[in-house]
Amino acid sequence: MTTALTDNPHVLSFVSEKAKLCQPDRIHWCDGSEAEKDALTAQAVAEGILIPLDQEKLPGCYLHRSSPLDVARVEGRTFICTPTREEAGPTNNWMAPDEAYAKMKSLYEGSMKGGTMYVVPYVMGPIGSPFSKIGVELTDSIYVVLSMRVMARMGQAALNMLGQSDDFNRGLHAKLDIDPEKRYICHFPEDNAIMSCSSNYGGNVLLGKKCLALRIGSYLGRKEGWLAEHMLILGVESPEGQTTYVTAAFPSACGKTNFAMLIPPERFDGWKVWTVGDDIAWLHVGDDGRLWAINPEAGYFGVAPGTSEKSNPNALASCQRDTIFTNVALTPDGDVWWEGKTDVPPEGLIDWRGNAWDPSSGEKAAHPNARFCAPMANNPALSSKADDPKGVPISAMIFGGRRETTIPLILQSFNWTHGAFLGATMGSETTAAATGKVGIIRRDPMAMLPFCGYDMGTYFNHWLAMQDKIKSPPKIFMVNWFRKSAEGRFLWPGFGENMRVLKWVIDRAMGKVGGRETPVGWVPRSGDLDLSFLDITRADFDAATEINADEWRAELDSLQEWFDKLGDTLPAAFHAQRQLLIAVLDAMGGGATAAS
């Protein structure tokens, strides 16, 4: 055993108790140093866990291939273990804590025999921030240790910040044999504890990320009066040097990383977008009555496919060094490739499974949920506030899903309650970020369906209750980059061009620009969105921004099913919003609203 890096009795007893259960031959306390990283990397390479890439072109970069049966989050095997089923609510899998502890204990028993248990202390949030949370993850996976080192402030600094306190998340992860039938991701909100086994992939095992920062985080947020959200955080700097901060919640693989790293098109000369975070926001009410956000993470676990010099140069720049790639394709000269990186794939690729890739096979070279794990410090657009313990003040919040129809390019809610309603009723097509069928529309409220650690209706009530505490609330918007033409073409070019929408959002938040009131919210009038030098036809733009009464009526109809599922805890205000909208739409008749 390497020497314990703390004399905190709570940490020591947690480690010894779990070591007794898992029976590792060795315990390694992670200090987070460069020397430790080098040693663990060398060991991972020797064991075939990491494959070195061209170290001249991509210094410190490695490829990891996961088991083909372990490539995404597993929502069906993710459990919220609260004393009652009602506390977990109708959208979460529930297991009684006693039952879960017993099941997990039997799986963990002796699981680390012959191996090493790594003690990974980490902080979610800037070191020293009153909003940060500390966790200790015990794991037998070097891949997890090295990834946690990128994604969180990991090592001695976390133990120093913890001191003698008992207030830390207790996480235990064991790879077992990666058998999907033995895979469990169990959360114990009341104990601030997480247990994960039989996976070695991303959101299932990097316990600081979805497990602590969102599921346990959302639970703590309600208890303590703040919000833990699946949101990116960005700052928009105007040519005059004024920076406005915005958060946005899009479901998994629906564009958060891309939006957070947006590069404004030429037309927006002098404008700059800075990334504070690309996946998670913790939001607290400041003394000034505004909502302030920190990014609890220190790195990006981003979707590789679709990332290119054209779509997201900042993401590509972020993974030029010290990056772990998972399930991407390998080129003969030690570089990485994925669908969409370049138009033409390089010759001689090895696919994500490790086999020679045949371009005519119809198989993908990279897995659709292939990821890069890169330090945020690599991002050329990293905000100078990303490490600020206070966080950044938020002027606007955006919700957005992946919808072929109905939802317009941009919509501003009338007020906080209406904005929360739009977020709570958001639908989106499923993606490869979780196992299961892709492209099915499901309700994904506030992009939190897989990540809310307690009853969804109660979560909505918490959102509504927050309004009383926020004197100057952010304005709430909804976007949809994914609306399609009848032939299945995206109507809006997206990516950098989303700056045009973002500009309207911040101008609206500042009360600087007009809009048109429709029954479902405010939309830009003709001329309010700057479309100059943009390659889009008037017809496509109109179709992308159309509010179609028939489509909305169908949407509101189908909402009843969702509301029925959520049950009694759903805020009465949301039922009222739905009824009101139906009445207004009925009064309007069919078809599209008047052209803008």
**Shorter beta-carbon distance to ligand GTP: residue 89 or 202:** 202
Binding mask 108-147 for ligand SPV (x = CB under 6 A): ----------------------------------------
Q: Is residue 423 close enough to count as binding ligand SPV by CB under 6 A?
A: no
* Alpha-carbon distances of 557 from 308, 549, 551, 570, 591, rounded to whole Å: 39, 12, 10, 17, 16
Q: Is residue 335 close enough to count as binding Mn ion by CB under 5 A?
A: no
**Shorter beta-carbon distance to ligand SPV: residue 74 or 162:** 74
| DSSP three-state, residue 434 | strand
Say if CB 390 and CB 536 are below 8 A apart: no
Residue 60, both tokens? 């410190």
Task: Find all residues with CB under 8 Å of 156, minimum gap 6, and list them.
Answer: 5, 31, 32, 33, 121
**Shorter beta-carbon distance to ligand SPV: residue 375 or 408:** 375
Q: Is residue 278 close enough to count as binding Mn ion by CB under 5 A?
A: no
| Residue 535 DSSP class | -
The b/e string for 473-492 (b: 16+ C-beta within 10 A; e otherwise) is bbbbbbbbbbbeeeeeeebb
CB atoms within 10 A of CB 324: 24
* Alpha-carbon distances of 48 from 244, 311, 345, 474, rounded to whole Å: 46, 32, 26, 48
Binding mask 311-350 for ligand GTP (x = CB under 6 A): x---------------------------------------
Q: Is residue 481 close enough to count as binding ligand GTP by CB under 6 A?
A: yes
Q: Is residue 482 close enough to count as binding ligand GTP by CB under 6 A?
A: yes
Burial label for 568, CB within 10 Å (0-12, 13-18, 19+), is exposed
Partner whose binding site includes residue 383, from ligand GTP, Mn ion, ligand SPV, none (CB under 5 to 8 Å by kind): none
Q: Is residue 72 close enough to count as binding ligand GTP by CB under 6 A?
A: no
Q: Can you tell me the distance from the alpha carbon of 95 to that of 387, in angstroms, rounded to the nearest whole number?
A: 37
Task: Find all residues with CB under 8 Å of 226, minimum gap 6, and list them.
Answer: 131, 282, 283, 284, 285
Rounded to a whole number of angstroms, the minimum distance from the CB of residue 116 to Mn ion is 29
Rounded to a whole number of angstroms, the minimum distance from the CB of residue 400 to ligand GTP is 9
Closest residue to ligand GTP, based on beta-carbon distance: 494
Q: Is residue 202 close enough to count as binding ligand SPV by CB under 6 A?
A: yes
**Which range of residues in 350-358, 470-478, 487-495, 563-571 is near ligand GTP by CB under 6 A?**
487-495
Q: Can you tell me the distance from the alpha carbon of 565 to that of 459, in angstroms, rounded to the nearest whole number?
A: 15
Q: Is residue 66 close enough to count as binding ligand SPV by CB under 6 A?
A: no
Say if CB 476 and CB 423 are below 8 A apart: yes
Task: Find all residues with CB under 8 Å of 568, minimum gap 6, and list them.
Answer: 457
Binding mask 208-237 for ligand SPV (x = CB under 6 A): -xx---------------------------
> What amino acid positions are annotated as catalytic residues?
254
Residues that bind ligand SPV (CB under 6 A): 73, 202-203, 209-210, 252, 279, 301, 433
Residues that bind ligand GTP (CB under 6 A): 250, 252-258, 278-279, 302-303, 305-306, 311, 433, 481-482, 490, 494-495, 498
Residues that bind Mn ion (CB under 5 A): 252, 279
